[in-house]
Structure 1
Amino acid sequence: MKFGPIDIDQAEGAILAHSANTPDGKIKKGRQLSREDITKLKRANVSSVIAAILDPSDVREDDAAAMIADTVAGDAVRVAEAFTGRANVFATNDGILRVDRDALIALNRIDEGLTVATLPPYERVTAGQMVATIKIIPFAISQETLDKALKQCQADHALISIAKFKSHGVGLLLTDLPGSKAALIDKRIKSISDRIEACGSHVLDQQVIPHERQAVATAANEMHAKGANPILIFGASAIVDREDVIPGGVVDAGGHVIHLGMPVDPGNLLLLAELEGRDVIGVPSCASSPKINGLDWVLERLLADITVTPDDVTAMAPGGLLMEIPTRPQPRAKAVASEQPDNASRYAANISAIVLASGRSTRMGEQNKLLEEFRGQPLVRHAVEAARNSLATSITVVTGHEEERVREALSDVNVNFTSNPNYADGLATSLATGIRSLPEDCDGAIILLGDMPLISAELVNQLIAAFAPHDGRSICVPFNHGRRGNPILWSSAFFLELGSLSGDQGARHLISKYAEDLVEVDVDTDAIFTDVDTPEALAALRANEQT
């Protein structure tokens, strides 16, 4: 790759390194300059640009990031479409993140232009949470570098995966001393139960027993007979020695102590033991509080069927000082990006789809174009299927003209319908109706037109991948041959204005108003321009399918 100043007359096809302002609008960095872009730059009296020209052996940043992400990703993770050299990896299930630490470090040492970052190994994660990001720093890396990276990733196990939480029936024993307060026992039961349920398991049985070695042994065996695994024993007094009441009772029951103590504070006085194939934890007294402690680090792994050994416990020392860490969050209620930008950027965006299907089709004559057949299905069905097979989390179809017929055409699809009684007043009224009908927790909405049947789920996903309000990409517009097309993805930050639109103007003026928040997403298809407004357009579309 060659990088540096390039004469404007030689810059067509080069990748622009820094955004440039022109009388015709901003040309953003990372764009491969077209002939039209060169004309705009010349009109702005730009004589040279800082840009990159790729060598034949270079692999573009998005392609490289995508290939590396696909190779490192294992069980229960999803790789998002790469954009601006970044491919993010998200958990698809609640569980524990597993990372091959040594392989990860070796991968990052291959080349400074290739970076792979993850959450800490064994972090508890929730579905939709970002767990890793692959970023290619320059606009491209060499094929040789990519080959080395892919070879490094091809081990007998995935570099990044999620150990999903399994449903366990947990036995809970609490010992009691004379004079102990019942409220303390209740507090401990709630604290432990909440932890267990947050990981998708349940308390199979619980008992309050005397703080005596024989009582612990008897109750532990009863829990074992009931099938409890793991068995948690919360002592009325802290465990200070292997011969103390709790470990002694486990041994008397036929079990053995694996490890006593851990380099995690709070949580130092945790006991790890085993009873005839069942895990046993002597719970530290700090677990009366919902704040994170050593119990969480051990219990969560066990509930994801990850074996915990003495070496695993002692390896918790780096980062084991938890005194200032707050309460462990429960399985996450979806964050709304506009309200929680710092947090929500670490989760897959919750994007809803709106399909506008309310128009009168006046240019089609007597026929409703949305119900005309194409590829064996009504025209409107194609837009809905593109949304349904994409990463959009919900679909809202706005109806109006011939509402009952449109709904019937989509009756077997899981969509939400909303009616626009003012559909005859123009497109903007349908867009506003759809916006006002969206779920409250969505981060953005992609607006699909019911008369654009060639839009694919892959294209929708490209726009979703580009969406990053915290990086100034709040409006995502597909771009090809120097032109913008549809569909367009809007951040929830614009919902108030979109919901107030009227007439037939659509949202075009908002695109101009918020140009700094817009990103043009290069796509290799004319589908973004192909709509069906006339019988001739429909006939041409069908004819193209036959050639």
Structure 2
Amino acid sequence: MPKYRGLLKINREILDEINDLGDMILATIHGDRSIDEGHLIGGFRVIPLTIEKEKINIAEKILREKGPIFEVKPFKKLKTALIITGSEVYKGRIEDKFGPVIERKVKAFDSEIFYKVIVPDELEVIKDEILKSKNMGAELIIVTGGMSVDPDDKTPGAIKATGANIVSYGTPVLPGAMLLLAYLEDIPVMGLPGCVMFAHTTAFDLLLPRICAGEKIIRKDITRMGYGGQCLSCNVCTFPDCNFGKH
């Protein structure tokens, strides 16, 4: 059981190698998820009443030479900038419902929104706010809304116009398929689709813990999300204790 809260990482290759030895088994939960202090992450059993000492020695050697099976990465307190796009929200015609959701989710991983602004759907304005956030010391930049293929949606173009490296525009996850992830130098920039505002769990919930734990997301990480990427929208959500996002 872990001694502190963080992102659980499990070395699948070492786990399989230990279980391949025979006469002993190690069962675990899925990795790449948040866990709390004292959370059950696995159990070990010897199958027969006795086991050859040599097998225990081999298992210990594997762990010494190849590293631990389990790792818990603590969450970092990222200074987060939140840029909410939408001309109707900007003009006060409709209420901002994105902000409270994102603030709650970010806070759950020990980070905080240090800069929040509402802007119209104008590419140059959005781009300037992203660059301004970077210059203010943002360690994570989140841009909400305007992520579809509608001509009025400017967020993807604005993120690209900053010179950010686009890791992926689109994720094989439902809900959350239109999510964009990029890096402006080393700063993660996320463009969030509207579903994040009302769906309980989306692609955002799968990537945010990893980013808050300091992981650098590459395209392969995104493409592998398709297996287990369909949320079942259960009446009672048990995420992350469910199959969503597990691969």
Output the TM-score relative to the length of structure 2. 0.88
Corresponding position of 2:105:
195
SS at 2:147 equivalent: coil
The match for 2:141 among 203, 209, 231 is: 231
Corresponding position of 2:193:
284
**Contact 2:77 2:111 survives alignment (8 Å):** yes
Corresponding position of 1:38:
none
C-alpha separation in 1, matches of 2:86 and 2:203: 22
Corresponding position of 2:11:
100
Corresponding position of 2:94:
182
Shift of residue 290, structure 1, vs aligned partner: 5.8
**Contact 1:119 1:132 survives alignment (8 Å):** yes
Letter in 1 for 2:139: N
Change (3 A) 1:260 1:104: same
Corresponding position of 1:268:
177
Q: C-alpha offsets along residues 125-155 of structure 1, whole Å, 9 cap, x if unaligned?
A: 1111111211222222111221222222224
Corresponding position of 2:245:
none
Runs of 4+ in 1 over 6 A off after TM superposition: none
C-alpha separation in 2, matches of 1:181 and 1:129: 45
Shift of residue 95, structure 1, vs aligned partner: 1.1
Q: C-alpha offsets along residues 256-280 of structure 1, whole Å, 9 cap, x if unaligned?
A: 2111111111111110111122110
The match for 1:143 among 47, 53, 57 is: 53
Instruction: Let me know the Cα RMSD of the aligned residues.
Output: 2.1
SS at 1:311 equivalent: helix
Q: What does 1:370-385 align with in structure 2 at a 5 Å threshold?
A: none
1:211 aligns with 2:121: yes
C-alpha separation in 1, matches of 2:237 and 2:142: 20
C-alpha separation in 2, matches of 1:107 and 1:318: 25
**Contact 2:140 2:188 survives alignment (8 Å):** yes
Shift of residue 157, structure 1, vs aligned partner: 3.3
**Contact 2:33 2:209 survives alignment (8 Å):** no
Corresponding position of 1:120:
30
1:294 aligns with 2:203: yes
Letter in 2 for 1:310: R
Output the TM-score relative to the length of structure 1. 0.41
The match for 1:256 among 159, 162, 165 is: 165
Higher relative contact order (CA 8 A, sep 6+): 2
SS at 2:225 equivalent: coil
The match for 2:39 among 129, 143, 157 is: 129
Q: What does 1:514-525 align with in structure 2 at a 5 Å threshold?
A: none
SS at 2:102 equivalent: helix
C-alpha separation in 2, matches of 1:168 and 1:114: 41
C-alpha separation in 1, matches of 2:72 and 2:198: 27
The match for 2:154 among 245, 248, 263 is: 245
Change (3 A) 1:172 1:229: same
SS at 1:178 equivalent: helix
Corresponding position of 1:221:
131
C-alpha separation in 1, matches of 2:193 and 2:19: 38
Q: What does 1:57-96 align with in structure 2 at a 5 Å threshold?
A: 90-96=1-7
SS at 2:163 equivalent: coil
C-alpha separation in 1, matches of 2:59 and 2:99: 49
Shift of residue 156, structure 1, vs aligned partner: 4.5
**Contact 2:88 2:94 survives alignment (8 Å):** no
C-alpha separation in 2, matches of 1:167 and 1:249: 26
1:157 aligns with 2:67: yes
Q: Which entry has the higher C-alpha Rg, 1 or 2?
A: 1
C-alpha separation in 1, matches of 2:100 and 2:93: 15
Letter in 2 for 1:285: G
**Contact 1:290 1:328 survives alignment (8 Å):** no
C-alpha separation in 2, matches of 1:170 and 1:328: 27
SS at 2:82 equivalent: strand
Letter in 2 for 1:197: K
Letter in 1 for 2:57: D
Q: C-alpha offsets along residues 177-207 of structure 1, whole Å, 9 cap, x if unaligned?
A: 3377532x1x211111111111111111111
Letter in 1 for 2:41: V
SS at 1:174 equivalent: strand
SS at 2:226 equivalent: coil
Structure 1's unaligned 5+ residue stretches are: 1-89, 331-547
C-alpha separation in 2, matches of 1:278 and 1:239: 23
C-alpha separation in 1, matches of 2:185 and 2:105: 24
Corresponding position of 1:172:
82
SS at 2:41 equivalent: strand
Change (3 A) 1:136 1:284: farther
- Of the structure 1 ranges 100-109 and 203-212, higher mean CA displacement relative to structure 2 is found in 100-109
**Contact 2:201 2:239 survives alignment (8 Å):** no
